[in-house]
Amino acid sequence: MFEVYRKEIEWGGRTFSFETGKIARQADGAVIARYGDTAVLCTVVINKTQRSDVDFFPLSVHYQEKTYAAGKIPGGFFKRESRPNEKEILTSRLIDRPIRPLFVNGFKNEVQVICTVLAHDLENDPDIVAIIGTSAALCLSGAPFLGPIGAARVGYNDGQYILNPTINTAKESELDLVVAGTQEGVLMVESMAYELSEEVMLNAVNFGHKSFQPVISAIIELAEACAKDPMDIPEITLDIKAIRRKLEASGKTVMETAYEEPNKIKRQNKIAAAKKKAIESIDDLLEQEIANSLLKDLEADIVRSRILNTGKRIDERNTTTVRPIAAEIGLFPPLHGSALFTRGETQAMVVTTLGTGQDEQIVDSLEGEYREHFLLHYNFSPFSVNEAGRIGAPGRREIGHGKLAWRSLKPLLPNKERFPYTLRVVSEITEANGSSSMATVCGTSLSLMDAGVPLERPVAGIAMGLIKEGNEFAVLSDILGDEDQLGDMDFKVAGTDQGITALQMDIKITSITIEIIKIALEQAKKGRLYILNEMNKVLSVAREHIAQTAPKMISIKIPVNKIRDVIGSRGKVIREICDTTGAKIDVEDDGSVKIVAVDKEALESAHNWIYSLISEPEIGKIYDGKVVKTLDFGAFVNFFGSKDGLVHISQLTRGKRPETVSEVVKEGDKVKVKVIGFDDRGKVKLSMKVIDQDTGNDLGAIIK
């Protein structure tokens, strides 16, 4: 009934296998990829008709995790998977980026890739498995795909590279790098690093590229055994060269002039007018359908040839110059931290908010539930590019850009023991013309330091581009939006003056060599150091104190056997402390206690109350107290949290003993008392007369 094909290799100390022919047989391509006991079903479906209403390749990639894969039932009220979580969105992008450039130019049939995690062994991350499984499914489907591609995760520890580290091993690694590419070169890189050098990062990319070559060979062998025949691509009957000549005759000169305009909005308006004029020169409706695509090619030729021939870019910069930078901090006093970072026509307004442990993000993943105390959210509003666009939930691009900035800053953050706040950073892109994610990195670094977050060092980011024609190429620093769209590479590098913290590379051609990546890294380092120098003119280290509007927080450690005393029966004691002082208190199972309050007085009050619950009064120590009850023989004073002690009538005042207690104190009075001992029942004995009630000085040495 089933004609099953299977290919298996040993890779990175584990078995990687491909299987096709049994499951999802009606898809154009379907492969179950397994690594260890992690399994992902990767399917490809290709629409049989070409879309004529779009000028882009309609590829969609959907990576989805089923909780049954880890033996779990979805949490929450609805017990089924719903909208994609952040990991699913990021992995979908991770699969899309290396396969998109390898489809034949002009192919516009809709292609849908769905990767479903069927089993997770909690050791091998399904993302690498999904990328490789998708590559195999595409090669079997008959799609005009110039693959296969391979992918690998690279770790780094103690000077050694690790191929596909397990999930637990990756947590201890100085590097988390994913690289994908073909036999000839690299297509995509995504990474987070702990201030590693350019050389270490370059060698990591090279190590990964070499390591996945056996995977590519295995896919080729599988495809030779069972791939479908290549699908027919409709032949273009129109005379493309003739149409292009018409467009060039009517629009090229105007476009060349438009690209001499450095201002983005003015340039866009001139280009739009040039395109309209060029389209109007064509009468045939069928020819007009492909004219827009040809005009994009014409734009690319103008921009690319100018850079390669003259070394000059759209805004007259050379290939290495960074656009002018302006930075400000403390934009709005009520905010905990804020910064405005502007680079050319790209601008990010970044705001930091400090919160408590109760504000942490609870993440429910296949690997288990965990809490995240650093949140970075990137928002891209349509006004930033002079558009009236749709406003809605953040898309894949926003999620991806936010995560890249998150990876860039994460290695420099203080640990929770040193700075116990939950951090939420929001980047609002207010202008955009290239590299808004790197502007977010720079703005976030300044905003965090403005909020008093003790970063180890400032972090900056820069986006690099590439123009490549044959063997001739130019690497561009700090690319514009047009250079990104019309160029061959988007290469983003973030880090400190000590090393790289994040790397992301996407290629729009079939691949690039390690030599080009090396040049890009070296050029990016110079740009990054220049940007850091400009940022340091505004703020180079974190403020010593957090904002007055930020919550005040202290962390203490109490004995585990005292946790019950602090919490009380059914939480009665801790609720009373919170209600009375206005503070918020988190108590962990290991005895860690976080106390948060809006003002210092409430913070100290809650701290002293907790301290009184876990400690005993010290003889000879002076305390502030409050009279809670008066009797004939003395006054009871609350002085140590919930603890009371007795001031005998003879210990109320110096000199003559008063006739009644009410002559000296009444209920509600605030007094200063000194512990002078304990009675036979262990009750605390206090004295007021040995304390100067105005100054708090100890008079015990002169009063016998």
List residues forming the annotated binding site for Mg(2+). 484, 490
Sequence-distant (6+) residues with CB within 8 A of 464 are 475, 476, 477, 478, 479, 489, 491, 492, 493, 520, 523, 524, 527
Rounded distance, CA 147 to CA 253, Å? 38
Rounded distance, CA 440 to CA 350, Å? 7
Residue 3: how many CA atoms within 13 Å on its side-chain side?
4
Sequence-distant (6+) residues with CB within 8 A of 648 are 633, 634, 685
Rounded distance, CA 271 to CA 277, Å? 10
Task: Specify whether the CB–CB gap between 564 and 367 falls below 8 A.
Answer: no
Q: Which residue from 381, 490, 479 is spatially nearest to 426, judged by alpha carbons? A: 381
Scanning 172-252, the segments in alpha helix (DSSP H) are 198-211, 213-226, 240-247
Q: Which residue from 436, 487, 497 is spatially nearest to 463, judged by alpha carbons? A: 436
CB neighbours of residue 370 within 10 Å? 11
Rounded distance, CA 119 to CA 79, Å? 19
For tokens 């705001």, the residue is: 351
Q: Which residue from 234, 386, 302, 295 is spatially nearest to 55, judged by alpha carbons? A: 295
Sequence-distant (6+) residues with CB within 8 A of 167 are 122, 123, 124, 125, 367
Rounded distance, CA 205 to CA 188, Å? 10
Give CA 691 to chain center in angstroms: 57
Residue positions counted in the chain = 704
Question: What is the edge-to-edge ordering of all strands in the sheet holding 374-380?
Answer: 325-329, 337-343, 346-355, 422-431, 374-380
Query: 540 by DSSP, 3-state: which?
Result: coil
In sequence order, what DSSP letters do the residues of 448-469 get, joined into one string?
A: HHHTT---SS--EEEEEEEEEE
Sequence-distant (6+) residues with CB within 8 A of 265 are 386
Residue 95: how many CA atoms within 13 Å on its side-chain side?
33
Q: Which residue from 306, 333, 364, 496 is spatially nearest to 87, judged by alpha carbons? A: 364
Supply 472's token pair: 């001739």
CB neighbours of residue 616 within 10 Å? 12
N-terminal to C-terminal alpha carbon distance within the chain: 105
Rounded distance, CA 653 to CA 664, Å? 8
Task: Specify whether the CB–CB gap between 500 and 493 falls below 8 A.
Answer: yes
Read off the DSSP letter of residue 157. Answer: E
Read off the DSSP letter of residue 238. Answer: S
Query: 346 by DSSP, 3-state: which?
Result: strand
Rounded distance, CA 162 to CA 146, Å? 29
Q: Which residues are annotated as a binding site?
A: 484, 490
Task: Specify whether the CB–CB gap between 396 and 428 falls below 8 A.
Answer: no
Rounded distance, CA 376 to CA 252, Å? 43
Rounded distance, CA 161 to CA 147, Å? 26
CA distances in angstroms from 442 to 184, 190, 472, listed in the order given: 34, 19, 32
Task: Specify whether the CB–CB gap between 23 and 30 falls below 8 A.
Answer: yes
